[in-house]
Structure 1
Amino acid sequence: MLNFSEFQDYVKMTIPERLPEEYQGAQIRSHEVEKNNGLVLHGITVTPEDSNIAPNIYLDGYFKQYEEGKDLDEVLDQITHTVVEHIKAPEEFSNVAEKFQDFDFVKNNVVMVAVNTERNAKLLSQVPHHEIEDLSLIYKVMLGRDSEGTATITIRNEHMAMWGVTADELHELAVANTKEILPITIQSMNEVMREMFGKDGMPAEMADVMFEEMPPTQQMYVISNAAKVNGAASMFYEDALSELSKKVGTDLYILPSSVHEVIAVSTEMGTPEALSEMVREVNGTQVSEEEQLSDHVYRFDAAKRTLSLADTTMEELKKAAGAENLSVEPATEGSRPRHTHR
């Protein structure tokens, strides 16, 4: 059986001969891409002749299928099919490089995405961002959206320099644009379940019986955006949280379900410590590492219209991070332990 390195080399070597004749001259490159929370994925790009647009195919999932016993030729057929399906860029992406250099286009299409600050330290050193508690907002240019998801490019420091704009200017644009391009959605968990089972064919009458409305203080509310992608950034719209707080009748605790959505509950639903323990358990068992946002719970103070950590403080987090980075070297004969920072 091939190991992952051998698998990547074999794919790169054999894919050209599997492509249709019109793409035989395509250039194939392998590369690594750092995703959210430092997750590194391994992919190939297949660039047709006379094109500057190439599909990016990640091989990690395909290798897992191979590891689990799927025939190598079948896996390669899947990869080839994916390449061919995406090798022709949609017409709206044909001049993407030109559009991206034009700040008049960018300023109307920049949106914000929430990520965990500590887990994305390397990325944040390379991109403009805005820190809020243990999270950071980064900025992406929205190129398009369809039923399969959104097409975006992350704004990096060099892009900001090219346009001659500041991080504060990007933040202001992104806050306004995201509200319009990816409008916030707030649904009770009952509404979400009714919608889900309705799509599976459950009659509305049966759904009403199964998911009877509860008092607002006992209800969970899912906050995301219209695309249901990177919707956790919606938690930073105070107007929407204020309206929900009025409906519930109390301040809110915000539970970071994933980078795509958060859950709001009344502060009567439990203690921050108990809720954060639940968040940690869900993150550890049900949310992929790439999609995790935080292990901590936030409180929205309706009177002050502020969002802050509820189960801890930034001072405590920094203190804990400092303790983790402190190591003690074992003492050797005639010497004392020395403290070193990694």
Structure 2
Amino acid sequence: MEYNEFVEEIRCNVEANLNCDGEVRMLKIMRNNGCELDGLTIVRKGCPGSPTIYLNGYYNQFEAGRSIVSITREVLNTYESGREKLESMAGIFNDFEEIKKRVAYKLVNYEKNKELLQDVPHKRFMNLAVAFYCLIERESNYNATALIHNSHLGLWGVSESEIYSLARKNTPNLLPYRITRIDEVVDIPKDSCREDDMMYILTNDSGINGAASLLYDGVIDEFAERFAADVIVIPSSV
């Protein structure tokens, strides 16, 4: 079984064995050194957040003889464990002193998220929107986040501008940016890449919501100054 077939098989099996009303989604996640991971997450209505589970390592286990059934069971167990941890940590949403150090931002497509954006604090950024979330936990095989809604601002007694200020301060520290040549990520013949027309990928060290890195203070300016050239920015996967 090829890798892409394996990923689809796991997705279908997880979906078939869900004991709740949820939607299984697959995410392409760029990690360090140009490594692209396949993340599986389960979105449930009314659930504040969901862990993202990386499937790449499971394929090696499958090739070594582990069954699809066993892997599916572990993925579901990992999801449940992460979900329970998110729910158990729901109490921290009442403690703004604990929350404020976890506030981060991400970029989303404005048109495709109009309905969602009615219920969450956000700032327009050209044809995109800056939305806010709490980075609850980062582990080797999943990330746990929770989107910040308008109701949270009322609970905490803070304004959208205060949340933005926190996210602007926190996000570069929680998720440092990295810039990689495209030929280190995509299989492009080295002799066809010239330095003066090279494309670069800007993301963060988790590879999740990496487009938000272009909002970090000074990142684009410093990159342009490094090459003494204008920069064209093309947000991807937003």
The bucket for the TM-score relative to the shorter chain is 0.5 to 0.7
Could you say which residue in structure 2 is the equivalent of 1:83? 76
Gap regions ≥5 residues in structure 2: 1-11, 28-40, 53-66
Q: CA deviation at 1:192?
A: 3.8
1:170 corresponds to 2:163: yes
1:152 corresponds to 2:145: yes
Q: CA deviation at 1:119?
A: 1.1
Q: TM-score, normalised by structure 1?
A: 0.49
Aligned residues: 199
Could you say which residue in structure 2 is the equivalent of 1:220? 199
1:139 corresponds to 2:137: no
Secondary structure of the structure 2 residue equivalent to 1:87: helix
- The structure whose Rg is larger is 1
Matches within 5 A, 1:198-209: none
Q: CA deviation at 1:88?
A: 3.5
Q: CA deviation at 1:217?
A: 2.9
Choose the corresponding residue for 1:30, options 17, 21, 28. Answer: 21
Could you say which residue in structure 1 is the equivalent of 2:214? 235
Q: CA deviation at 1:247?
A: 1.5
1:252 corresponds to 2:231: yes
Q: Identify which of structures 1 and 2 has the higher relative contact order when contacts are C-alpha pairs closer than 8 Å and 6+ apart.
A: 2
Q: How far apart are the structure 1 equivalents of 2:48 and 2:234?
A: 39
Relative to structure 1, the CA distance from residue 237 to residue 217 in structure 2 (aligned partners, 3 Å threshold; closer, same or farther) is: farther
Quick check: 1:115–1:137 contact (8 Å CA) kept in 2?
yes
Of 162-171 and 141-150, deviating more is 141-150
Quick check: 1:113–1:233 contact (8 Å CA) kept in 2?
yes
Q: CA deviation at 1:191?
A: 4.1
Q: How far apart are the structure 2 equivalents of 1:167 and 1:53?
A: 19
Secondary structure of the structure 1 residue equivalent to 2:207: coil
Q: How far apart are the structure 2 equivalents of 1:56 and 1:214?
A: 38
Q: How far apart are the structure 1 equivalents of 2:23 and 2:85?
A: 26
Q: How far apart are the structure 1 equivalents of 2:139 and 2:160?
A: 29
**Structure 2: which amino acid aligns with 1:139?**
F
Q: How far apart are the structure 2 equivalents of 1:224 and 1:167?
A: 25
Q: CA deviation at 1:183?
A: 0.7
Relative to structure 1, the CA distance from residue 250 to residue 35 in structure 2 (aligned partners, 3 Å threshold; closer, same or farther) is: same
**Structure 2: which amino acid aligns with 1:158?**
S
Q: How far apart are the structure 1 equivalents of 2:158 and 2:43?
A: 32
**Structure 2: which amino acid aligns with 1:123?**
L
Relative to structure 1, the CA distance from residue 78 to residue 150 in structure 2 (aligned partners, 3 Å threshold; closer, same or farther) is: closer
Q: CA deviation at 1:86?
A: 3.8
Q: How far apart are the structure 1 equivalents of 2:157 and 2:179?
A: 36
